[in-house]
C-alpha cells in the first residue's frame, strides 16, 4: 500500500497530471499523500535527515559508506519534495475549479438580472354550472319580469347587454357566450358609447327585439340552456325566442322565431364542422344533444 502511494506521488512529480486525473483522480492522490505522511518510513527519513545537519542537506556525506548514505538521503529528499509538489498540484487544481465557478456565477448573474419579469399566471374563471344558472334565472324572473327592452348593446365580441325597465326600476342584463366565462346575469351599466358598428350580431339583435317586452325565462330540463321569450306587449304571444346556450367553448346565443327558424346567432356552425347539429341562419333550431 505504501509502495502504491509512492508510485502515485512519483507520477505526480514527473508531470503526469493528465494521466493521474484520467485514471485515478485527484482524490486518490490526496489519499496517498495523507497515508504517506503517516507512514513510519517517512518519519524515520525525516528524523534521519534532521540529525545529519546542513552538510548532509547539501548532499555531502561524511560516513564510511558515502554512496549508500547519499543514495538514501536523495531518496528521502525526493520523497519529501514529491509529497509537497503533489500537495501544491491538488491545491492549484482546487483553486482553478473555485475560480471557474466564481467566473461562471459572475457571468450568469447579469443575465438573470437582464431577463424580463415573469408575467403572473392568469386566473382560471369559474364556468356557470346548471345550479348557478337556475338560481340566476329564478332571481331575474322574480324581480325583473315583465320588463321592456329599451336598449340592445354589444359591448365586445362575446357579450350582449339588454337595457331593461320595469315599473319600479331599470337595470342591465348581460348575456355572454365567452368560451371560458359564458354567463347570464345582472350587472352595471356598460360604456355609453360602445363600438357597436363593428358587431353585426348586435345590430341585428337591436332591430329584432328593441322596444319589445321580455315576458318569461325558462330552463331546458337538465340543460344549461335558458330560453328568453319576447313579445310585443305583455299578455300577447311570443314573437321571438333567445336561446342562451352556456356550454363552455360551444357556448352560443341564437334568436329564433316561434316556429323554430333561426333568425340570427352569435356563431354559425356549418355541416363541415359538425353533422350532429348545424347552426345557420335560416335553419331549424334544435336543442343540444344529450
How far, in Å, CA of 73 to CA of 61, rounded?
Answer: 9
86 — pLDDT class (breaks 50, 70, 90): low
Which tens digit of pLDDT belongs to each residue from 143-167?
999 999 999 999 999 999 999 999 9
The torsion defined by the Cα of 206, 211, 215 and 217, in degrees rounded to 10, comes to 20
Rounded to 5°, angle at Cα 204 from 198 and 207: 125
Residue 10's pLDDT is what? 72
How far, in Å, CA of 266 to CA of 149, rounded?
Answer: 19
Beta pairing, strands 262-265 & 252-256: antiparallel
Average pLDDT, the chain: 76
Cell numbers placing 87: 500537495
Q: Mean pLDDT across the stretch 239-264?
A: 94
How far, in Å, CA of 104 to CA of 110, rounded?
Answer: 11
The pTM of this model reads 0.58
- 98, pLDDT greater than 90: no
What is the maximum span of the chain, computed from C-alpha positions, in angstroms?
A: 140
How far, in Å, CA of 220 to CA of 198, rounded?
Answer: 32
Which tens digit of pLDDT belongs to each residue from 24-61?
555 565 666 666 566 666 666 666 655 665 544 444 44
Cβ atoms 221, 146 nearer than 8 A? no
Amino acid at each position: 500500500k505504501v509502495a502504491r502511494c509512492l508510485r502515485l506521488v512519483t507520477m505526480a512529480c514527473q508531470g503526469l497530471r493528465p494521466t493521474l486525473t484520467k485514471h485515478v483522480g485527484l482524490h486518490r492522490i490526496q489519499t496517498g499523500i495523507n497515508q504517506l505522511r503517516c507512514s513510519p518510513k517517512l518519519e524515520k527519513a525525516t528524523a534521519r535527515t534532521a540529525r545529519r545537519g546542513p552538510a548532509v542537506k547539501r548532499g555531502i556525506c561524511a560516513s564510511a559508506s558515502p554512496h549508500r548514505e547519499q543514495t538514501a538521503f536523495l531518496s528521502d529528499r525526493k520523497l519529501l519534495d514529491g509529497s509537497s509538489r503533489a500537495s501544491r498540484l491538488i491545491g492549484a487544481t482546487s483553486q482553478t475549479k473555485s475560480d471557474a465557478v466564481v467566473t461562471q456565477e459572475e457571468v450568469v448573474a447579469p443575465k438573470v438580472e437582464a431577463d424580463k419579469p415573469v408575467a403572473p399566471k392568469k386566473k382560471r374563471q369559474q364556468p356557470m354550472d346548471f345550479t348557478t344558472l337556475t338560481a340566476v334565472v329564478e332571481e331575474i324572473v322574480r324581480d325583473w319580469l315583465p320588463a321592456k327592452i329599451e336598449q340592445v348593446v354589444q359591448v365586445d365580441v362575446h357579450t350582449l347587454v339588454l337595457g331593461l325597465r320595469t315599473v319600479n326600476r331599470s337595470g342591465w342584463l348581460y348575456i355572454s357566450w365567452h368560451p371560458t366565462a359564458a354567463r347570464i346575469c345582472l350587472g352595471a351599466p356598460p360604456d355609453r358609447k360602445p363600438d357597436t358598428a363593428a358587431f353585426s350580431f348586435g345590430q341585428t339583435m337591436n332591430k329584432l327585439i328593441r322596444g319589445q317586452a321580455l315576458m318569461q325565462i325558462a330552463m331546458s330540463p337538465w340543460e344549461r340552456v335558458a330560453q328568453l321569450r319576447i313579445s310585443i306587449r305583455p299578455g300577447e304571444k311570443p314573437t321571438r325566442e333567445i336561446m342562451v346556450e352556456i356550454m363552455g367553448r360551444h357556448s352560443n346565443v341564437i334568436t329564433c322565431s316561434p316556429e323554430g327558424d333561426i333568425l340570427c346567432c352569435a356563431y354559425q356552425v356549418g355541416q363541415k364542422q359538425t353533422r350532429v347539429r348545424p347552426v345557420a341562419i335560416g335553419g331549424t333550431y334544435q336543442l343540444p344533444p344529450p
